[in-house]
A and B are shown apart, each in its own frame.
Chain A
């Protein structure tokens, strides 16, 4: 009897399908593990998409601070010695009436004025 290659193939394939090795069953929690893995990946992706938020906030604050520094009118530079002199003079001017500083040039005049004031 003549054997045709096509028939041979059919018989071979049929035999292989009938006697194919049995696949071991999956672990009961495999499906849940896979879904957990997918869920974990999704959360990770979400975090990765928001990675730029903190740097953006910091950059914004820096730009605001820098802009304020640049745009705000700069205070005139004051010489410290001049400022001290100004403060002393100003203080003297304010408290001049009660100052212990001599009001006249001579000590006699001072005594005289004190004596007069007691009267």
Chain B
């Protein structure tokens, strides 16, 4: 989970390749003050962290939130006991930052207003139909409770295994399954209401 697919060991020196590219190896060097290793960790995980934060908090202050996550990670590295579980730990920090941000949102605006006012940015020119469905999904996510949305985003969108989701959120796997069931049901109901029949 922690390593990219491109980190797959080579046939000649599988152990060395895995060792040098692993998160735990980079974390070890970070702890010695090596910022290049931290840069590698950032490049490896920033897309997923960014995506999680965006799905949970919207586009507002997204860069600031990503920065907050990685700075918290850098400061907390000495306390990380299981270096091999760096990604799980990093996603947990992301979730904590998103939770903090959500509390701020609650004080200013409603969550729905914040999410529905964000403008999606696309690299290519998508079709009207695609944009329409994208807007529905975005509004559907905003309709969910924060707990349900978190589980749906982590598991269904970011493809984090249920066991790891449980570790990130600090809840039993059974609770993850239960939340996932209800989140999907709510999302399915919303889609049907919007005229999307799967």
| Docked complex Cα distance between A16 and B47 (Å) | 18
Asked whether B42 lies within 8 Å of A31 as measured between CB atoms, the reply is yes
CB distance from B16 to the nearest CB of A (A): 27
Asked whether A39 lies within 8 Å of B54 as measured between CB atoms, the reply is no
Pick out which of these stretches binds chain A: B3-11, B66-74, B82-90, B166-174. B66-74
Pick out which of these stretches binds chain B: A22-30, A58-66, A82-90, A98-106. A22-30
Interface size on B, residues (CB 8 A): 42
Asked whether B134 lies within 8 Å of A34 as measured between CB atoms, the reply is no
CB distance from B173 to the nearest CB of A (A): 17
| Docked complex Cα distance between A8 and B62 (Å) | 32
| Docked complex Cα distance between A41 and B73 (Å) | 12
CB distance from A119 to the nearest CB of B (A): 102
Chain A: interface size category: 20 to 34
Q: Which residues of A contact B35 (CB under 8 A)?
A: 35, 38-39
Asked whether A8 lies within 8 Å of B33 as measured between CB atoms, the reply is no
Q: Say whether chain B's binding surface is mostly helix, strand, loop, or mixed.
A: helix
Q: Which residues of B contact A20 (CB under 8 A)?
A: 55, 134, 137, 157
A47 within 8 A of B: no
Asked whether B137 lies within 8 Å of A16 as measured between CB atoms, the reply is yes
Asked whether A31 lies within 8 Å of B39 as measured between CB atoms, the reply is yes
Chain A proximity mask over B176-198: 1 for CB below 8 Å, otherwise 0: 00000000100110010000101
| Docked complex Cα distance between A33 and B156 (Å) | 31
B81 within 8 A of A: no
| Docked complex Cα distance between A17 and B155 (Å) | 11
Q: Name B123's closest neighbour in chain A (CB-CB).
A: A22
Pick from B39, B122, B130, B156: contact of A16, CB below 8 A.
Answer: B156
CB distance from B68 to the nearest CB of A (A): 9
A residues near B, CB below 8 A? 8-9, 11-13, 15-27, 30-31, 33-35, 37-39, 41-42
4 closest A-B pairs by CB = A19-B133, A38-B74, A11-B198, A21-B138
